[in-house]
Structure 1
């Protein structure tokens, strides 16, 4: 892309010939936590069918990928839209395996407990814990990070490391913003605690996703032929840029209010925000469409 080329493009079709693979975010791009964006999954299916490309979904969901497949199917996202999924939970499980036998405090909803299956860690109380794993808030509909301040302060003073299984600070659920594990991890660090994070924007999840992409395609893929698609500046975009991947920025996601009308963003505002964050994008669209 030349410096004078427009950032906003009509859709994925205009970029597709330049890429062999896509690493695509899920929440905010394919669905909003309540319903799927039909044009988004149709765009990915078209990339696979018409451009011969490979799609690996890359998400900060703190669970293994099997429940995410079920969730996507429930939203109506067809298997034709993607080849595989790599989650923050998948890469977090590797770290949990390395701590087999440790007494672990789980902070997060019960739905995330499958994360620990067959990892060898032992779920424990706050008093007995040697390690913390945070997948979110216990009740993300009603609680805020500040509700955890006293509890986290005590744990930080004990010197316990927190494994953050979902680096997202907030996500959209329908028309609401919901706090995620990343918000608790940030608070824990502010209180003096140590945090280990493997999901976006950190390298381990990208390494795992590229390995899956290459396994599916049957050989090495030039990083310049991989396009990352996402809506979150501190996670999706920063992570992709840190791995020197081209980015398709979905402006109508979590940052939509910053760019004017959701479906007609002001390109100048988008470019200014990217520059302020020290980030870049190959192109941008309000919503993922073909």
Structure 2
């Protein structure tokens, strides 16, 4: 088992990279508040000539999520470009217009569908495919609440488009189910699932195009560092793209990678990564400079 190198801070390796592809939820905020040290680290990277591209599995278009970052106090100078799973998923949905689409998710995610010309279905019976952003009531519902409804979709061989591959995110001090947990259930029932967000290629294609625009030249992939706390999204995505990765080992994992001295235990971090057959070059508990 190869251990990640425990970093004292991002500054220890910042000079080795031109681009950071940085996760959002779990790295720079928890849905209730932003983390000043993490934001300051990204700002400093930008100030020293680097370029931070935020890469999020939010199911909404990035233009709609910027206001949320502002409300949480994420400084605009901590990032230079922003791409979301919603941005990447809109292309998949447009291919399938006019549907009709059976949409599952909270009302706040409706900007995902604006301008795509999709008709609405009321359920599996009259749908051409299913589009999932997450549970309708993510404060209270679990994937099991959707088992019977999703089984009806499987019975009709409907494809499920999942706009948020995250299984869970941290909201305050709680873990909340996301679209990926519903997609997992659908697959376990025998259904077909398509996703464009992390760890899948389309979102990285978008992010690297943004990075090239910022650089004004082609991206040297050896000088790109991915940062994230999701093993099966951020770390696996970086591995599939052959990009270096900094694993933020606290986030959704709580104290699982913390040693008895209160600091990162590289062996425990490696255990979290090995469980999903992934590897990260670096690890920290929280993002700091």
Quickly name the TM-score band, shorter chain normalised. Answer: over 0.9
Is contact 2:105-2:136 (8 Å) kept?
yes
Alignment-derived partner of residue 13 in structure 1:
11
Is contact 1:60-1:88 (8 Å) kept?
yes
Alignment-derived partner of residue 145 in structure 2:
147
The answer to whether the aligner puts 1:266 opposite 2:265 as a matched pair is yes
Q: Name the CA distance, whole Å, in 1 between partners of 2:259 and 2:79.
A: 30
The answer to whether the aligner puts 1:123 opposite 2:124 as a matched pair is no
Q: Name the CA distance, whole Å, in 1 between partners of 2:102 and 2:30.
A: 29
Structural RMSD (CA): 1.6
Q: Which runs of 5+ in 2 are unaligned?
A: none
Alignment-derived partner of residue 285 in structure 2:
286
Question: Residue 228 of structure 1 aligns to a residue in which SS?
Answer: strand
Is contact 1:56-1:85 (8 Å) kept?
yes
The answer to whether the aligner puts 1:224 opposite 2:222 as a matched pair is yes
Q: Offset of 1:120 from its aligned partner?
A: 1.6
Q: Offset of 1:67 from its aligned partner?
A: 1.8
**What CA deviation, in whole Å up to 9, does each residue of 1:144-183 have, x standing for no partner?**
1001001110111011110000000011101101000000
Alignment-derived partner of residue 276 in structure 2:
277
Question: Residue 200 of structure 1 aligns to a residue in which SS?
Answer: coil
Q: Offset of 1:18 from its aligned partner?
A: 0.3
Question: Residue 8 of structure 2 aligns to a residue in which SS?
Answer: coil
Q: Offset of 1:215 from its aligned partner?
A: 1.1
After TM superposition, the structure 1 = structure 2 runs for residues 66-215 of structure 1, keeping only pairs within 5 Å, are 66-126=63-123, 127-215=125-213
Q: Offset of 1:4 from its aligned partner?
A: 9.7
Is contact 1:96-1:120 (8 Å) kept?
no
Question: Residue 237 of structure 2 aligns to a residue in which SS?
Answer: helix
The answer to whether the aligner puts 1:254 opposite 2:252 as a matched pair is yes
Q: Name the CA distance, whole Å, in 1 between partners of 2:2 and 2:97.
A: 53
Q: Name the CA distance, whole Å, in 2 between partners of 1:113 and 1:6.
A: 39
Alignment-derived partner of residue 59 in structure 1:
56
Number of equivalent positions: 287
Is contact 2:4-2:279 (8 Å) kept?
no
Q: Name the CA distance, whole Å, in 2 between partners of 1:91 and 1:111.
A: 18
Q: 2:240 aligns with which of 238, 242, 254?
A: 242
Q: TM-score, normalised by structure 2?
A: 0.96
Question: Residue 5 of structure 2 aligns to a residue in which SS?
Answer: coil
Q: Name the CA distance, whole Å, in 2 between partners of 1:61 and 1:145.
A: 18
Q: Name the CA distance, whole Å, in 1 between partners of 2:277 and 2:214.
A: 33
Q: TM-score, normalised by structure 1?
A: 0.95
Q: Which runs of 4+ in 1 moved over 4 A?
A: 3-6
